[in-house]
Amino acid sequence: MSLFNVYPLFDITPVTAKDVFVYDENNCQYLDLYGGHAVISIGHSHPTYVKNIQEQVGKIGFYSNSIQNPLQVALAEKLARVSGCNSYELFLCNSGAEANENALKLASFHTGKKKVIAFKNGFHGRTSAAVAVTDNAKIIAPINAQQEVEILALGDLESLEKSLSKNDVCAVIIECIQGVGGLDESTAVFYEGIDKLCKKYNACFIADEVQSGFGRTGDFFAFQKYNVTPDIISIAKGMGNGFPVGGILVHPNIKASFGLLGTTFGGNHLACVAVLTVLEVLEKERLLQNTLEVSTHFLRRALNVPRLKMVKGRGLMLGLEFEFPIAELRKNLIYKHKIFTGSAKNPNVLRILPPLTIKKSHIDTFFEALISELS
């Protein structure tokens, strides 16, 4: 059997990884400024992470959601404290798309309505409702296109109120900083306006923190820069440092009932230990602080880069927007300089999503390579 060929692949085979580096079968070292698509938060194969997961799999890796699992309770308590989202409740699933799928479904249950408002260049995943609210016609199949969705321009509060006032909208879903789209972010007035309008018209404000959460921007969540209280916060990616896990934080205004949501694998013992370890290491190693410090250094170094239009994003969720498409540059960074970076829907944006353990010296290595390619 061959693989269903949906991914264009770089011809590189990582076989081991350590902190900010991955190594191929010839032990060639690559600097990872991509984090496996914003997934690696506390560094590859962090010793505490390896130890805790090994120990847990030796005890019990999985049972089901029909028994007591104190690890889920411990995780909810720790996440509340570390994130500052104390009053929220936690539902666990397995991926970012699944988190948004559950968020949208819950918003629809809660409000009794079904239309969703999302934004231009937004990305929310590839499952049924999540892909329907994603602004990319190429990945929406006819079966997904049945959902009622309106895509608005980022920043357009006037159209948002016009639409919400018809009273058929269950949710407004937004990434406070866009990931796949190319790192665009609107203003405080806009995000705080969404918050107010959702409350006024009884729609749920869903903050998609799948990519921007768990410290990637230097805040635990990107929305925390603003004075907003989302009804639902979706999480995944950096949450498990590579272990497949996702979830939603649900505001206490939305009430749970038996059977409302459910999953077989979500919240299994191994996933809980992975996330508990991520939270432990984020705190112990002060990785949010490191994120801010390294980010400041990155921005300083970026001042001297030729043909660079601007740097977008926050913390270690960054995009370098050039005056030209970056595909060739990205290839040269990988093959010639052994540095992984990311691309975006905007073809001129090179994305930087390293493990949050990265140091200034690694950023210097990147800029030396980048400038040598551009001069």
Residue nearest to ligand PLP (CB): 96
The dihedral over CA atoms of 138, 144, 148, 150, expressed in degrees to the nearest 10, equals -20
Nearer to ligand PLP, 201 or 214 (CB): 214
123 interacts with ligand PLP by CB under 6 A: yes
Q: Which stretch binds ligand PLP (CB under 6 A): 207-215, 291-299, 348-356, 359-367?
A: 207-215
Please, is 315 exposed, middle or buried when counting C-beta atoms within 10 Å of its C-beta (0-12, 13-18, 19+)?
Answer: buried
Ranges within 164-193 binding ligand PLP (CB under 6 A): 175, 179-180
3-state SS string over 289-307?
HHHHHHHHHHHHHHCCCCC
Instruction: Confirm if 93 and 237 have CB atoms less than 8 A apart.
Output: no
Tell me the C-alpha distance between 118 and 121, whole Å: 9
For residue 37, the minimal CB distance to ligand PLP (Å) is: 6
**Count of residues binding ligand PLP (CB under 6 A)?**
14
216 interacts with ligand PLP by CB under 6 A: no
Binding mask 291-320 for ligand PLP (x = CB under 6 A): ------------------------------
DSSP E strands: which ranges in 236-280?
246-250
Residue of 44, 124, 301, 314 that binds ligand PLP (CB under 6 A): 124
Nearer to ligand PLP, 125 or 354 (CB): 125
Ranges within 85-114 binding ligand PLP (CB under 6 A): 95-97, 100
Please, is 128 exposed, middle or buried when counting C-beta atoms within 10 Å of its C-beta (0-12, 13-18, 19+)?
Answer: middle
Q: Where are the alpha helices (DSSP H) in the chain?
A: 35-38, 47-59, 70-83, 96-111, 128-132, 157-164, 188-200, 269-284, 287-302, 327-335, 360-374
For residue 352, the minimal CB distance to ligand PLP (Å) is: 15
Residue of 56, 144, 211, 295 that binds ligand PLP (CB under 6 A): 211
Tell me the C-alpha distance between 134 and 208, whole Å: 12
Nearer to ligand PLP, 175 or 231 (CB): 175
For residue 99, the minimal CB distance to ligand PLP (Å) is: 7
Q: Which stretch binds ligand PLP (CB under 6 A): 117-125, 250-258, 286-294, 345-353?
A: 117-125
Among 164, 165, 190, residue whose Cα is nearest residue 176: 190
SS3 51: helix
Q: Which residues bind ligand PLP (CB under 6 A)?
A: 95-97, 100, 123-125, 175, 179-180, 208, 210-211, 236
